Amino acid sequence: MVSQPTTISRAAEIVRISRIFDFLLLVPILLVIIGTYHLSMILTVGDWDFWLDWKDRQWWPIVTPLMGITFPAAIQYGLWKHLRLPIGATVCTVCLLLGMAITRWFAYHLWTNYPINLVLPATLIPGALLLDFVLLTSRSFFVTAILGGMLFGAVFYPANWAIFAPFHQPVEYNSSLMTLADVSGYSYIRPGVPEYLRIIERGVLRTYDTYATPLSAFCAAVLAVPLYGLWSYIGKLFSTTRFIDKF
């Protein structure tokens, strides 16, 4: 005689299968985000994020958050709109950090002998947390774009200063004034990255004395707002559920 499942055991079974499905889906999603977001940052931010002696106070705080807000905005849209999950930005930046950590450790440190401090990545997690918190509390993409986007751009430099400040100590090296970061970049030979490629405060932002960093942070904050809007829209286009809703 075959026993029939009770209502309670069937409900428990459904919950269990649903959780298994969650994690079966979560793993490939995370792997895809690690791969694509990391690749996107390599192609757009590139040397600014790879090398310690590229992280200047004018371009690095602009380029990195502006290129970094792309995936968080798009993924955040999809997860909030269809699942009411305010974790899209944080998921992306954690995935990015994992991808970077793997690359820097295995490819740059173990394989090509660079000291890990020369290739320390920057963190985008603080800005992403703020982006998610603002979305959760405001429940509005518009407010998130204005407030969250601005915070994402503005906090990038101060949040990373604790990591990179030690390398900005001055050194007299071969009769020149350099930072420890400059000396490191000079010492550890990179045949494909000659010194002249570095874009160190090159440009016309010259009239504000030594206040390049606050201006760059402000610039990043303002520009992050429309970029958040653009990438949210791209997230909207790519996160349609119309193919699964019929089931």
Partner 1 sequence: MNILTKRIIKFGIFALLLFSPELFAHGERALEPFIRMRTIQWYDIQWSKNTVDVNQEIVLSGRFHVAEDWPNAVVKPDSAFLNLAIPTPVLVRTATYINGAIVNNSMALKLGGDYDFKLVLKGRVPGRYHIHPMMNLRDIGVIVGPGMWIDVQGAAADFKNPVTTLAGETVDLETYGTANGIMWHLVWLAIAAIWLLWWIRRPLFIPRHKQTLAGDEDALITSLDRKVGGFGIIGTLMLITASFVQADQKYPESIPLQTGRTEIEPLPMKHDVVVKTKRATYRVVQRSLQLTMEVTNKSDKPVELGELNSATLRFFNPTLQRFDSNYPKELAVEKGLDVQPNSPIAPGTTTTLTINATDVAWHNQKLASITKDTDSNFGAMLFFYDNAGERYLASITAPVIPDFGTN
Restricted to residues 127-156, the positions that interact with partner 1 (CB under 8 A) are 128-130, 132-134, 136-137, 139, 151, 155
State the binding string over 92-111 for partner 1 (x if CB under 8 A, else -).
Answer: -xx--x---x---------x
Does residue 34 belong to the site contacting partner 1 (CB under 8 A)?
A: no
First-to-final CA distance of the chain: 34
Least CB distance to partner 1 at residue 118 (A): 8
Nearer to partner 1, 4 or 172 (CB): 172
Structure token digits, residue 245: 């809703």
State the binding string over 156-195 for partner 1 (x if CB under 8 A, else -).
Answer: --xx-xxxxxxxxxxxxxxxxxxxxxxxx-xxxxxx--xx
Site for partner 1 in 60-89 (CB under 8 A): 81-87
Residue 24, CA distances (Å) to 19, 20, 99, 173, 241 in order: 9, 6, 20, 54, 18
Does residue 55 belong to the site contacting partner 1 (CB under 8 A)?
A: yes
Residue 175 per-residue DSSP state: T
> Are the C-beta atoms of residues 170 and 234 closer than 8 Å to each other?
no
Q: Determine the Cα–Cα distance for residues 234 and 236; give it in Å rounded to an integer.
A: 5
Q: Which stretch binds partner 1 (CB under 8 A): 37-45, 51-59, 65-73, 219-227?
A: 51-59
> Are the C-beta atoms of residues 159 and 93 closer than 8 Å to each other?
no
Residue 203 per-residue DSSP state: S
Q: Determine the Cα–Cα distance for residues 83 and 131; give it in Å rounded to an integer.
A: 17
Q: Determine the Cα–Cα distance for residues 245 and 167; give it in Å rounded to an integer.
A: 53
Coil/strand/helix, residue 6:
coil
Nearer to partner 1, 95 or 227 (CB): 95
> Are the C-beta atoms of residues 153 and 213 closer than 8 Å to each other?
no
Least CB distance to partner 1 at residue 208 (A): 13
> Are the C-beta atoms of residues 74 and 85 closer than 8 Å to each other?
no
Nearer to partner 1, 230 or 239 (CB): 239
Site for partner 1 in 193-232 (CB under 8 A): 194-198, 200-202, 212
Q: Which stretch binds partner 1 (CB under 8 A): 1-9, 34-42, 66-74, 112-120?
A: 112-120
Q: Which stretch binds partner 1 (CB under 8 A): 3-11, 21-29, 39-47, 225-233?
A: 21-29
Nearer to partner 1, 216 or 232 (CB): 216
Does residue 21 belong to the site contacting partner 1 (CB under 8 A)?
A: yes
Binder to partner 1 among 91, 217, 224, 225 (CB under 8 A)?
A: 91
**79 phi/psi in degrees, rounded to 5:** -70, -35
Nearer to partner 1, 4 or 242 (CB): 242
Coil/strand/helix, residue 178:
strand
Least CB distance to partner 1 at residue 234 (A): 20
Coil/strand/helix, residue 216:
helix
